[in-house]
Chains A and B, each alone.
Chain A
Amino acid sequence: MSPTPFKGESSLDQWLDRHHVRRIRTFVTNLDGFSLGKYCNREKFLGALPNGHNIADVALAADAASIPHFTFWHTFRHSVMGDILLKPDLDTLVSDIKDNDLGHVICDFANLDGSAINLCPRTKLKQVVQAVSDNGFQVKATCELEFFLFENSFDDARVKQYQNLDPIGSSPLETIYFLRDSYRAADFMNEVIKRLEWYGIQWEAWNDENGHGQIELNLVPTEPVTLADSVVRSKQIIFETATDMGMSATFMAHPQRGFSNGMHIHHSLLSGSTPVFFDSNKPDNRSDLLLHWVAGLIDTMPAAVSYLCPTINSFRRFREFSAPPMTATWGEENKSTGIRLISKSPSTTRIEHRVGAGDLNPYLAIAAILAGGLSGLTRKIAPPPECAALGWGLPEDVPRLPRSIMEAARALAQDQALKTILGSEDVDYWIKSRRHDWLNFHSSGNDPDDSKPSQWEYERYFNIL
């Protein structure tokens, strides 16, 4: 049997030879959005194809501190603690920019027989994208990655217990788009961009963001799974670049006073190559489909917060008039509502979901958003009235989005629409994993209402997310 052509070469082996790859780093994202994997020699990697190499099942069933989830259960787990697989997606295989004989490949968690594990975040997103596709539509999406960059190395930051770090930039003010701050970050970002381009990650722009040392990086819209792959790879690239340059960077949602890291997610729907959110025959060019989709997003938004703001720290972002939305509202070109609608032309009509925190898991967050939109579409529900005013400072009787990890978990537990599309067992497991984090946080002597993040949060999130 002749070998299968691979990326312009006659076979995978040929491609590995051409790129001098002798070792492959597998890369998978767990529930909390952490990057896990192994460095495999080429023979081991090839010998394990197509199903991939073994990894302990607790890789998908443990918390940020690698403590196994001992107080809840999922049917994919082995009752005596066993192995599962990291199944490579060979389309994502790339060679390393620095390490001459290293390759990288993104994987899904899989059962030992190679079958899918529905709890796997990447698998979950693929399933939801397929569900949208089954309804006749394709999704185009992108993310705004916000992170803080410090002059301190990761080691230095740890020694200083993440306090009084030196954010990159020249202004002591919380400026935005400030070119002098951008210039201070340019060497770092030039290196990041060089690496992104090497790995085929398309970017649009980066700029100085509001917070001290905060940078925003915008990626080019693409298919959702590719986008989420690009996000996790970009975060790894930013971590590695910071490490190589003796600096530190964090996607932790709220590492310091002032502005926080968000991750706004833009998306639009296409039928073939035709944008379906835009309809010039409708008022304000908004298609019926768009309004149903928005209605689904608004209806499920309190529940989706659990996926969009997954950590204790995520909720420190939420303050009135401080950038993150506080309510399940929507409005045209309105950056103070949960949903910002942009519907002026066919090619740019899209939805910006503004609730997400910088520490979200992109696979699960995008899956929750698409599931929300899809639920509105299938139920053909209508959205609440558009919010033409500011979405902050609204009267107290306007319900606020959940303000804590447990409030969000409860909202998700009560939402049948998301459970139906995302799968009850997987949603329940996620909810219990949030309760696990919440209990862990409290039993470590911490208070979510403290004005400053706790050491527990820094140690758990600063250089891991």
Chain B
Amino acid sequence: MSYLIPVVTSADATPLEMKLARVIRDNLAKYQPDLQRRQHQGVVNLISSTTPFNVTISLFPDKVMVRRGTQDNAKISLSGDLAAMDNPNLSFKQKRHWHHPRFTRFVQQLIRQELRPWRVAAEEFFECVHEQVDVDISVKVKSKGEDPYFEWGSGSEPVLISSSSKALQRLFDKQSILIEEVVRGNIHCHSSIRTTALLSELTLNRLLGGL
């Protein structure tokens, strides 16, 4: 049985807050920590070194809250590039309250993104796609001299997605939405506007966890 502990964001949470909440949710489920333990409770300020946004993570025995801004009663403050939440090697520096090493390690574990191999994520993505869009997707991966080619589905419209494995990993691991990668030139998606929109919506829903 998975460890179901709510990770709460405000109603008007930003995409960054929601992404952070998703990462924490995944890690909580993965590590199943006991938040009843006092050394795992407290308020953390995440100070962004690159954007005007700071975020507070409050760890309670029964829930975790992600909120915009900082709080004066924070147990620790970490600074780092919040805008680079896509980066699996994201690192934060401890700004003050250095005397909570265990808590700091715990928090860093909670906000660390551990990306799955893209093929694993892609399988999950395509299962989700086939439930909602009637398309026949082919994926061409170009990286490090490799050029593997994958095909999924047997729908009415052929779709060819061609990209580096890095961009695909972001897409399939719920880090980005299709149309953004297409517009940035990272992914080439040969399909109708309709299918691109529907696939983008699916990736957006996965990123935000629905409405």
Contact = CB atoms under 8 A, between A and B. Distances in A.
A21 B148 CA distance: 64
A406 B9 CA distance: 13
Given A79-B194, A413-B211, A435-B211, A448 B12 contact: yes
B46 to A, nearest CB: 15
Contacts, number: 66
Contact of B193 (A81, A405, A431): A81
By secondary structure, the B interface counts as helix
A404 B195 contact: no
Interface residues of B, number: 23
28 contacts: A69-B197, A71-B177, A73-B201, A77-B193, A77-B194, A78-B193, A79-B193, A79-B194, A80-B193, A81-B193, A403-B12, A404-B11, A404-B12, A405-B12, A406-B211, A407-B11, A409-B211, A410-B11, A413-B211, A432-B201, A435-B204, A435-B211, A439-B204, A442-B14, A442-B15, A442-B16, A443-B15, A448-B12
Interface in A387-429: 402-407, 409-410, 413
Instruction: Identify which of B196, B197, B201 gathers the most chain A CB atoms within 10 Å of its CB.
Output: B197
Given A406-B12, A410-B211, A435-B211, A447 B53 contact: yes
B60 to A, nearest CB: 20
A402 B12 CA distance: 10
Interface string A443-457: 101011100000000
B68 interface: yes
Nearest to B179: A70
Interface in B183-209: 192-198, 200-201, 204, 208
Contact of B197 (A72, A403, A445, A448): A72
Interface of B: 11-12, 14-16, 51-53, 68, 177, 179, 192-198, 200-201, 204, 208, 211
Nearest to A436: B204
Nearest to A312: B12
By secondary structure, the A interface counts as loop
Contacts of A78: 193
Nearest to B16: A442
Given A79-B192, A449-B68, A71 B197 contact: yes
Contacts of A439: 15, 204
Given A70-B197, A406-B12, A431 B68 contact: no
A176 to B, nearest CB: 31
A73 B179 contact: no
A413 B68 CA distance: 25
Contacts of B53: 445, 447
